[in-house]
Chains A and B, each alone.
Chain A
Amino acid sequence: MAVCTGCSLLCNDIEVSIDGRRITRTKNLCRKGFGRYRSLTSDRPVPRVDGKQTGIDEAISRAAEMLRNARRPLLFGWSCSTLEAQRKGIELARRTRAIIDDTSSICQGEIVDMIIRRDIPSCTLDDVRNYGDTLIFWGCDPSSSHPRHMSRFSYFPRGEKLQRGHEEDRTAFLIDIRASPTAKILAGNFVQIPPGGDADLIDAMLAVLDGKIPKVRDKKAMISMMNTLKKADMGAIFPGLGLAYSLRGRMDRLKALVDRLNETTRYNVIPMVGHYNMRGFNQLLFDETGFINRVSFADGVDHGPMYSVVEASESCDLAMIVGSDPISSLPAGIAKALARVPLITLDPHRTLTTELSRVVIPTALSGIEAGGSALRMDGVRIEFDPIVKSEYPSDEEVLTRILEEI
């Protein structure tokens, strides 16, 4: 059995047949995971320094030299690396007095932060499978983003205490602005809201819980939903990017709702983390510094918005990007700012970021060519071994060597 690192569900039931170094057959992968496996033979980068192809050793030495000479380096990415590599990354940030940030900075960071600090209760996906009788998918589309979420853990399985499954024992709602593929599955319980309407919806939900009339068009449907939510033995809320962006800076509204529900029943929150080990990086950095992201080691430990990738892209004099493609995923104006500084990139694939990098270090694909461990979206640790031999070093090996050379 292998583990798929295609998303933060870290499915560990993947069957793989191998002929020498070639994967000939896989079983249980979703479409996204299959894409990750297919990428094993697509567009792998070559080691490069200043536009010229070199050996990996030379690229590593050049990266170490550039980091040594940088005054304000930014180390960004991390959510597609193993815990072992992330640990080395944090050590490298300390040693080079760098700013370190990860992709949670531009997505689910606020929610993960609340969970890690225990400001809102969470549980495991296995708890949801066995006991989660009332679910809210909120601003997410698991059918597209985490294709096996609903079948392995949340909606469809017959759990220990939910033998009649979704037909009788489980109810799931979807709150979203778009009639997504998941909305087709949960058609009868799809609550469509306008963009940015999440805070108003929470106010209406709280109003019903307080016995007041909600300020929504379909009062009857809202009251009926809240009656179902109140009856839960164990509820689970799965916030996605839609909710994260809509409530950014106002995440206390989500907490207010969860707290209120928990006065009479039990609700837990598991964010729909995208990358396979974002949760791991957030936990590691928190354990070391008390913060999940946006940390500077320039003078002890400091934390704040000025150390977010968005701001640090403007202020850094060098950026090392690990397993991420910010040139592709940041707004173009911010990506442009990042592109003006020398970039060192570690990645198993050719990306927009590798194309603009002064130093490119090709790495092994974790879960397929490199082993290690990661934290699933619910914080459960999953370990994996490599299943094929690789000519590429792992992130962990590259970072270890950079640390030795600095």
Chain B
Amino acid sequence: MMVTIVTFRDIFQSEAQEVDRFSEEYRRMSAVVFLDKSDAAKAGIKEGSNVLVESDNGRVVVVARISEDAHPGLAFMPNSPWSNRLVPAETDDTRIPSYKSISAKISATDDKVPTVEDLLRGMVS
């Protein structure tokens, strides 16, 4: 299923980020994608299941959450190193990355959600 991912700030995730970026709490709050109910049903994705999110720039496994509000075609992720795996490194003349408009494919997966350490290893490989 193709969606447009928009990153946003979540206060609980911001609090966890202030306290400790290496904590399980921060990972739990960050490594999520909020899907529209009908989109998720069409793609056979259940609340709390792992999904693979792939953009032209990279891929990351996160946990699917189903939104109460309808937003077909859009998916929301808290701004974090997990969402940044998907943001294009190419920028336009403004040199401001496209954090809030990422075209991505979402599919069910049995793969694990990476830890911060996994993401760091990806940076230096």
Contacts and interface: CB of A to CB of B under 8 A. Distances in A.
A332 B85 contact: yes
A350 B17 CA distance: 11
B100 A331 contact: no
A177 B81 contact: no
A305 B95 contact: yes
B41 interface: no
B13 to A, nearest CB: 9
Kindly name the residue among B18, B20, B80 whose own CB sees the greatest number of chain A CB atoms within 10 A: B18
B19 A328 contact: no
Nearest to A109: B96
A350 B99 CA distance: 24
Contacts of A31: 11-12, 15
Main secondary structure of the interface of B (DSSP, over half): loop
Nearest to B101: A195
Contacts of A305: 93-95
A12 interface: no
Given A38-B19, A195-B4, A352-B119, A241 B100 contact: yes
Contact of A195 (B15, B19, B21, B100): B100
Contact of B15 (A35, A141, A327): A35
Interface string A331-365: 11111110100000000011110011000000000
B123 A335 contact: yes
A208 to B, nearest CB: 26
Given A179-B69, A308-B95, A339 B123 contact: yes
Interface in A130-186: 141, 143-145, 147, 177-181
A213 to B, nearest CB: 28
A329 interface: yes
A334 B6 contact: no
B9 A144 contact: yes
A118 B17 CA distance: 35
Contact of A106 (B19, B96, B123): B96
B122 interface: yes
A34 B94 contact: no
B11 A143 contact: yes
Interface stretch (A243-251, A252-260, A387-395): A243-251
Contact of A43 (B8, B22, B99): B22
B74 interface: yes
Interface string B4-33: 101011111011111111100000000000
Contacts of A105: 95-96
A129 interface: no
Nearest to A250: B94
For the side of the interface on B, what is the size category?
35 or more
A43 B76 CA distance: 29
Contacts of B124: 336, 339, 356
B45 to A, nearest CB: 20
A310 interface: yes
A327 B117 CA distance: 12
Contacts of B100: 195, 241-242, 245-246
B57 interface: yes
Given A178-B71, A245-B98, A6 B18 contact: yes
A369 interface: no
Interface of B: 4, 6, 8-12, 14-22, 57-58, 69, 71, 74, 76, 79-81, 84-85, 87-101, 116, 119-120, 122-124
Given A177-B74, A195-B101, 12 more contacts: A31-B12, A32-B14, A43-B21, A178-B6, A241-B99, A310-B91, A310-B96, A332-B87, A352-B21, A352-B120, A352-B123, A355-B120
26 contacts: A6-B18, A35-B18, A39-B18, A39-B19, A39-B20, A42-B20, A110-B94, A145-B9, A145-B14, A179-B69, A181-B11, A195-B6, A241-B100, A245-B96, A248-B94, A305-B94, A310-B97, A311-B95, A332-B122, A334-B97, A336-B89, A336-B123, A339-B124, A350-B21, A350-B22, A356-B120
